[in-house]
Chains A and B, each alone.
Chain A
Amino acid sequence: MIEIIDPERCTACNICVTACPTNVFDKTEGLPVIARQADCQTCFLCELYCPEDALFVSPFAEQPQGIDVVAARQSGLLGSYRRAVGWTKDSEHLREADRSFRLFGQ
């Protein structure tokens, strides 16, 4: 589930508040907050919609892990999914990398 909004990267654009399908985030006067972590469905889509790579979703769907923001930054995982699907400027070629047709019927 969602673990981190990196306060150094977040610009309070609040796109995550809008894009999260299960309404996990809340707007505030300052940066948005993870208001309902237990409602997170671990779909990772907020990461894709965050233009600043400020969010980190842990793959553990049932339990919060209490991941530390410094550790998340050092892991190199912030923004990794957005790059992998081709949603960053330097990875756009990956938008058509789907070769599933080679796996069907094998």
Chain B
Amino acid sequence: MVAIRPRAERRNDSNGGVSFDADVLVLGGGPAGTWAAISAAERGARVVLADKGFCGTSGATAPSGTGVWYVDPAPAQREAAMASREAAGGYLQSRHWMARVLDETYAQSNRLAEWGYPYPAGDDGQPRRNSLQGPEYMRLMRKRTKSAGVTILDHSPALELLVDDSGAVAGASGVRRQHEDSWTVRAGAVVVATGGCAFLSKTLGSNGLTGDGYLMAAEAGAEFSGMEFSNAYAISAAFGSVTKTLFFGWATFTYEDGSVVPGAASKGGRKAIARALLHGPVYAQLDKADEQVRATMRASQPNFFLPYDRTGIDPFTERFPITLRLEGTIRGTGGLRITDDSCATTVPGLFAAGDAATRELICGGFTGGGSHNAAWAISSGSFAGRGAADYALQTRRAPATSVRRAGTAGLQAAPRRALDPAQLARAVQDEAYPYETNYFRNAERLTASLGRLDRLWREVTEADAAAWPDLIRTREGAAMLATARWMYRSALARTESRGMHWREDHPQLDARQRHYVTSGGLDEVWTEPRPHDEGALVEAAE
């Protein structure tokens, strides 16, 4: 039986372009966005999904393979799964959130199987649902999103949120880059699922992930949490884009002269690689993989081998130069702060999911492989979609007559010449990429970098609005800049080392800082500690 679902209504737009009235608008069409859109539609909401690129290929998941935190509901297995990474994450996880994410991921993965995802079977004949192939997964998610009645706007980056008189989010607008016109969606609730920010580092699938949703949300007043957990770097061939933390677990890392880099490892030894890269090239060879592992890798992740097969390198028997590419808040766990089980943010009508939302609730300050990240996208997407739908349907009323555009940087007329977006992006990269600043953090270098970033922000606010075709790039650059400032201000506020955040001037974990660092603001960036539920008890007892 096919349910008839209400669709978003297209309105005439006096300015050319397209306009829709919807209950829920989802920004971003990766895993979190598509799960949000489907989940909202299943609640009876009229849904529009706007993707900067093409829903199905956009985002970090589509070109990759990813593990999924799919755990049997048996209590002992659940407990082991929750306990396994608490230390690595710096004890900032929440048992309540881990349990509900495990439940949701389990249920939704089983639905993927019903929808036809070709999960493999193990030797026992039982399905194995703890890994997804990105192209296959996201092609299926696009199909399901469409069949759920969602209106998809491809190649339609959002530029700014719309806010009503009460300060509640009432939609968004952006551009259709292949039509060179605009789109506007009036909606009762908006889900930000625009991914994290990798600063255009060319780590696989991340060039659309420039923190756009962070900037838009912050302009409406939203807060962040855990932005200090934003310095993940991934290993790739020096010339290539394909990263795969798991496979480099079988690698030996060497200097130019062939000697082994002491302490270098894919897991737990990446800082040693970064240190070596500061002085010269580093090479990898996956020589620890035996024949069986090699064959399994090849069958399981064809994308991993593209850089090698296409350059005639045998990665198992020959060494090749590697680099570390910044993954920022994609693998980092910081993001928009969520305030309740529906993934609501601090702004009414605004919800967050996937890498756009903080993943501290299940990962704390550290994520290793993709499995928690994929589970978070599925679960937070589903929670946010349902939450946004319920919110919008409860408050459904005549569309607010007056909404204002919340966008600032790069969108407002100002006396100075508009900025060159390529220069802006490079200036931010110069602050965010260096291992000396972002990986090996200390107060002196963070403070100096923030001085330069703050000055750059002033330049952005004093510059004239960008015109087509620089508009999208300018907003991306501004979003990257704002993201770097929340990151480094938060990193400065956490005067200890915890999770992936490492301070060379405070190399130890400080038990008194088992709290979250909240941040926000644009012209003035602020941070504030917020107690971890269990951490508060510990501190009170001291």
Contact = CB atoms under 8 A, between A and B. Distances in A.
B239 A96 contact: no
A8 interface: no
Contacts, number: 139
B57 A98 contact: no
Contacts of A101: 120, 122, 128, 130-131
Contacts of B293: 103, 106
Nearest to A39: B207
B310 A95 contact: no
B239 A61 contact: yes
Interface stretch (B88-96, B300-308, B377-385, B430-438): B300-308
Main secondary structure of the interface of A (DSSP, over half): loop
B53 A61 contact: no
A44 B133 contact: no
A5 B131 CA distance: 32
A49 B65 CA distance: 17
B240 A42 contact: yes
Given A61-B239, A62-B239, A100 B63 contact: no
A22 B53 contact: yes
Contact of B57 (A45, A61, A63, A97): A45
B299 A61 contact: no
Interface residues of B, number: 55
A18 B58 CA distance: 11
A23 interface: yes
Contact of A21 (B53, B119, B300): B53
B109 to A, nearest CB: 13
A46 to B, nearest CB: 8
B57 A21 contact: yes
Contacts of A103: 246-247, 293, 296-297, 300
16 contacts: A23-B177, A41-B207, A42-B240, A49-B57, A58-B310, A81-B306, A84-B302, A97-B120, A99-B120, A99-B296, A100-B130, A100-B296, A102-B296, A103-B297, A104-B371, A106-B293
Closest 9 CB pairs of A and B: A21-B53, A84-B302, A43-B63, A41-B207, A59-B307, A100-B131, A42-B241, A61-B241, A96-B118
Given A100-B130, A100-B246, A104-B67, 17 more contacts: A19-B56, A19-B57, A20-B54, A21-B54, A21-B59, A22-B53, A41-B202, A41-B205, A45-B135, A59-B310, A81-B302, A85-B302, A86-B136, A100-B65, A101-B122, A101-B131, A104-B131
